[in-house]
Structure 1
């Protein structure tokens, strides 16, 4: 029991460090409440670009403009003619539209494509009573169960019915209960989002 309490307190201290600059929201209603996203169980349709990602920018019939570019820590990319362009926070299609509009000032009817070739900004954390707590870099949309498996599963002290997902929501953190014991029934195994923290008490 003392061991379990110690690891739980340690987990709370990590959360405090991660969210010290942001206020924490009051506990949200149980999973499935009206204020939760209606399509939470489905993978989001469009990935939003983040720092450290790599993009393949292609401009038809313009090899000089076509290239692989990294997204800098400030969220911008650098391209000839255009200099710095904000990329983080946009989908590939949204960035394509931005680049097309900017390039139209220099060439007639530019045709641009944007592909995210390397995802490095999608990270979630798992803390508490798991075999390998830590921060995990994901390459695709991943469910709660998948991330728990990546963390090596539960320790013998884990309270599987009281797992909590802390999800960034602007300047606050949503608190989403997750009951592993009911995963075969009423508990939804939903996809995690970038920045989520899985707390296993």
Structure 2
């Protein structure tokens, strides 16, 4: 008699286990964010360490007041009345607004701030046809700079091109592969230097 009840109960337990497994909640994130390699670099319009600025304050008593600055490693500049403003990572318009807020209305009723940057350059040397410095025009890459420099010479080692970053690191790029696959090309930022070595 006992076996008559044991078998149905075992079958019922298996059925419940299958139903429970099918109802488990999937806790895996559906859209987990993945950081992209270039995401931390910021826009090409942003001010960077080493940029030279001319700041002019107008529409104030005893103005205009003009000062020149080179953005230091900590990214902060010291302006009129020894006030500090974060410059690195900001656009010129953002920096103008931030500087104005330092003075108005605490020190002045009104003020116009103008931030001007010097031309920024990238450099190409070695086995390119026109080695020189070139004005940074935004959204540049290694291949674009080399094309601006007239392209490779006949003696260029395209597989071992060096890109010297402003932070002192050296990155190497195989330009032959990058020509076939643009995703392998590297972005270039102001002050950075490209060197194309000789094949032999």
Bin of the TM-score, shorter chain as denominator length = 0.5 to 0.7
For residues 30-60 of structure 1, give each alpha carbon's deviation from its aligned partner in whole angstroms, at most 9, with x where no partner exists: xxxx8943476x85352348554455x576x
Q: How does 1:1-201 map to 2 (within 5 A)?
A: 36-38=37-39, 43-44=43-44, 46-48=46-48, 51-54=51-54, 57=56, 65=63, 69=66, 71-72=68-69, 82=81, 89=88, 91=90, 92=92, 93-108=94-109, 110=110, 112-116=112-116, 118-120=117-119, 122-169=120-167, 172-185=168-181, 187-201=183-197
Structure-2 change in CA distance of 1:200 and 1:77 (3 Å): same
Alignment size in residue pairs = 157
- Unaligned runs of 5+ residues in structure 1 are 1-33
1:188 offset after TM fit, Å?
Answer: 3.5
Segments of 5+ residues of structure 2 without an aligned counterpart are 1-34
Q: Residue 180 of structure 1 contacts residue 187 of structure 1 at CA under 8 Å; is this kept in 2?
A: no
CA RMSD across the alignment: 3.9
Q: Could you say what secondary structure the match of 1:147 adopts? A: helix
Indicate the structure with greater helix content: 2
In the aligned structure 2, how far is the partner of 1:49 from the partner of 1:104?
A: 29
TM-score relative to the length of structure 2: 0.56
* TM-score normalized by the length of structure 1: 0.55
Q: Deviations over 1:125-149 (max 9, x none)?
A: 2121111223333244422222112
If you compute each CA radius of gyration, which structure gives the higher value, 1 or 2?
A: 2
